Amino acid sequence: MLDELSPLSGGLQRATATTEDAVRALAGEARVDLAGLPAGAAALLLMKASRAHAGPMVVVTPDQDAMKRMAESLRFFLGETEGDRTEVLHFPAADTSPFLDVASDRRATMDRLAALFHMAEGLPWRFLVVSAAALIRKVAPREAIRSRSKCVRAEDELDRDELVRVLADGGYLRVPVAEDPGTFAVRGGILDVYAPHAPYPARIDLDDWLVTSIKYFDPDTQRTVAETDSIFVHPVRETLLGEAEVALARQRVRTLCDDVNWPTKKTLALLEDITSGRMFYGLDGLLPAFYPALQTLFEYVPGDARLVYLDPVACHRVIRDEREQARNDHGAKVSEGAPTYALRDHYLDEAELAVRLEARPVAAIHRMVFTGQPNEDASPLAVWEHCDEARVLHLGATDHSALVGELKAARGGTGREEGLAPGARNAQRWLDAGMRVLFVARNHTQGERLRSLLQQYEVPTAGKPEPYVPGMIEGRPPMSAQVSVGALADGFVMPTEGLVCITEGEIFGTKTRKRAPKKQKARDNEAFLEDLRQLEVGDFVVHADHGVGRYMGLERKSLGQSQFERYVGDEERYVEVLVVEYKGGDRLLVPVTRLNLLQKFAAGDTHTPKLDRLGGSTFSKTKGKVERAVKQLAEDLLKLYAERAAAERDAVPPPDRSYAEFEATFPYEETRDQLAAIEEVMADLDAPTPMDRLV
């Protein structure tokens, strides 16, 4: 039974509709006004509505951060994995206005092109999450994106040079190794390409004109991850470099320059930049020159797609700010007398946006509900900010802002309770009220820590942390909390659904992720090769059998021919050898196949070693002396470790709840090696023998 004074009871009293009511409304064609839906709860509701609504949904957020968080939460509830992100597309706004002479962010541009390609090609998707500023910015026409994209299939014929041209025209960078999105590499019959929408770079193996295989590979290890039947490659820049686009751009830019009497020298330099295909400052402002007409996202989105506003008041404020900033930048450009396109060539105005919104079903999720009709002189968009109070579906959901404040105060020692007590107390209260409680951790390690802490606070938990899958907690009796692993951005309390979701970040605070280092080469031969690539003639090297010598370079030596080989006409064979000079001028030829016998001499720049004599005994004596010293050291170490193993001590008490809370709230996310080191140290502390470990 819910306490009449509890927040859960208050949420139900505020609710004027059920989740099913909202889902039915969103599946229809009429306008829908919703309230009492924080971002996380909105993601869950939209996921449920997408099952009933045949068409996709366009979710408009006020800013980039809200866009990323909404996309993340939708992917969580849909059960999308890291390698398969085709149901939820995101379309970030450009980081600058087109009238500034600055370079746009290449990664954001590639994300936008990936979404445009997906829609232009007619591939299936369920959600497009777009920031408000990006909604009004015009883009390259869909037919241009399609014409500069290509599908490569295994067992099909392919002109390698044509594909290279398509990639170059689409803005891909040709590099020695394709390890970053938007790059490609060519080595004979092998072409590596990293499309921005792909989880890994793909290796296309060609046998003359035939594509024999297509494999995704890890860019760090170069090892195959998976094989695929086909891949799509699409442009990674909006100003495409095909002959038709460049010719049209040159013609239009010349006219633009003539209209403002731009100096001839500057005009020719600008035309040369366009012809060369280089990215230059101010190129984004010339986007309309490359195509007969630009389009908007509405031309990419199917007609049956429902548009969902998250906080329409905030979205429209961002749209006005974006246009105002662009207007100021455009005015500065005009005052300089520089060639530039008009604001309408790059942006929709508010009236044009209103017309497009009226042509499709719209849902508004209001943060604040404004009833009645807007003023006569209000913006054409104000109609979606106001609504009829009787038609608003209020679901009574709340976020965890109050709880997050309590937990932050508790962690800082300024609250009434310590540690994670506020979270545990609320979790128990939710369970007692008959709610299903789902805690979401970013990874299994944090999930186990969270589950352990909840148990220490006597909060019942069910099972081990598992990756979230749709329907995981639906129909489950609310007897214990569930800990799941996933990437939910925002938690919520949703009484009409009988559900509470709370994230690791809300419980422990946000963790900082460190960039993973590049994987190290594993094989010894590769290490030898790295050293030898740095060798210069005259450097000292050490041979495993003959000792210190001086590297004199590479030579190509003939292996000679037998009479039979000469008789049958076999070609003479050659081998590459490293030449190492020893004392007295003797030379040793080391085939490249025996590189593992050589190492670069490393003893500091100030020390000049003495050369050993080839075939002499000096190096063998030194080697023997070192081997005996190493053997003696090993015996001493074994004796020392035996004595330490025989020693005993009292074990350190096991970690208590305070340690577990410190571990869980540590502000950095540990690497795999750090976690292993922590586990090994804790095992040593539990042992009855002295710890002998240096971390």
d(CA 247, CA 233): 24
Residues 36 and 104 in one domain: yes
Report yes or no on 252 lying in a domain: no
What confidence category does residue 523 fall into, taking pLDDT thresholds of 50, 70 and 90? very low
The pLDDT assigned to 618 comes to 77
What confidence category does residue 183 fall into, taking pLDDT thresholds of 50, 70 and 90? very high
Per residue in 560-606, pLDDT (tens digit) is 766 666 666 666 777 778 899 998 888 888 887 677 778 788 766 56
Beta-carbon contacts of residue 517 (< 8 Å; ≥ 6 apart): none
Per residue in 627-676, pLDDT (tens digit) is 888 888 888 888 887 877 777 776 666 665 566 666 666 666 677 677 77
C-alpha torsion sign, points 481, 487, 492, 493: negative
Relative to beta strand 370-371, strand 540-543 is unpaired
Asked if 338 and 260 touch (Cβ cutoff 8 Å), the reply is: yes
Lowest mean pLDDT among 271-275, 373-377, 378-382, 406-410: 373-377
Residues 288 and 370 in one domain: yes
Average pLDDT over residues 15-30: 89
The pLDDT assigned to 526 comes to 45
**Residue 595: DSSP 8-state:** G
Domain harbouring 322, CATH code: 3.40.50.11180
Residues 297 and 359 in one domain: yes
Asked if 318 and 133 touch (Cβ cutoff 8 Å), the reply is: yes
The two structure tokens encoding residue 16: 């004027």
Residues 24 and 137 in one domain: yes
* 636: containing domain: 628-686
Plot region of 584 (φ>0 → left; ψ -120 to 50 → alpha; else → beta) = left
Domain harbouring 478, CATH code: 3.40.50.11140
Report yes or no on 257 lying in a domain: no
Higher pLDDT, 196 or 566: 196
The pLDDT assigned to 483 comes to 92
Report yes or no on 552 lying in a domain: yes
Per residue in 213-261, pLDDT (tens digit) is 999 999 888 899 999 999 999 999 999 888 899 999 999 999 999 999 9
Report yes or no on 476 lying in a domain: yes
What confidence category does residue 522 fall into, taking pLDDT thresholds of 50, 70 and 90? very low
Residues 139 and 286 in one domain: yes
Per residue in 319-369, pLDDT (tens digit) is 999 999 999 999 999 999 999 999 999 999 999 999 999 999 999 999 988
Helices (H), 473-594: 504-508, 524-533, 563-568
Predicted TM-score (pTM) above 0.75: no
Residue 52 has pLDDT above 90, yes or no: no
Report yes or no on 157 lying in a domain: yes
Question: What does the radius of gyration of the chain's CA atoms come to, in whole angstroms?
Answer: 33
Cα–Cα distances in angstroms (integers) from residue 607 to residues 477, 537, 585, 604, in the given order: 75, 18, 21, 6
Report yes or no on 549 lying in a domain: yes
In total, how many domains does the chain have?
A: 5
Which among 614, 648, 668 is the end of a domain? 614
